[in-house]
Amino acid sequence: MQPPAGSQVSRVPAQRTPPEQMAPPAVAPAPPPQPRRTRTVLSVVAGVLALLCVSGAAIGYVLYDRATTPDRSAPDVVVDNYLREFLVNRNDTRAALLVCEGRSDLEAVKALRAEAEQREANFNVVVRVSWGPLSSTKSANGEAVTTTLTIAGSSNGQTRSSRREDWTFDVVDTADGWRVCGGRKAV
């Protein structure tokens, strides 16, 4: 359509703005960031695993401590454990955990074990020590536990010798439980 006659409108074609002077095109707004579910899930899983590892280590320590600590809860129990460790298992380290530190009078028990070891070497026999019921009575320094030890020697499954001896063990209650402080043949 033509402009009406006498109008002031120019008949010059419209000019375009050069591209370097144009306003940059409108940018669409950035979409909101997606929740980082993978990172969150991995963080939660790592936290739970760390908690389980720390809990497992603590539980393992407590169970190990309970399993390796000798039972010194009662006079007869500590004597039973001492006889088992010293005369049956012949484990001086474990037996030392059950005796009084520095002031024990256990020479008679040591002599009994030395005799058993000597008989095994000299006569090619196996010497076994067992004991009967343990009875406990009050004494001046703690308690006295009495029992009957049976010392038996055998060779090829056949008993060669056997004897019984009555023994008395002195036990004292310390800060960390009962301990054996003396042992001797009963008179």
pLDDT tens track for 58-77 = 999 999 988 888 889 999 99
pLDDT given at position 185: 96
Task: Indicate whether 184 pLDDT > 70.
Answer: yes
pTM of the entire predicted model: 0.69
Is the model more confident about 131 or about 3? 131
Torsion of CA 132, 138, 143, 147, to 10 degrees: -10
State how far the Cα of 112 lies from the Cα of 129, in Å rounded to an integer: 10
Torsion of CA 178, 82, 106, 187, to 10 degrees: 90
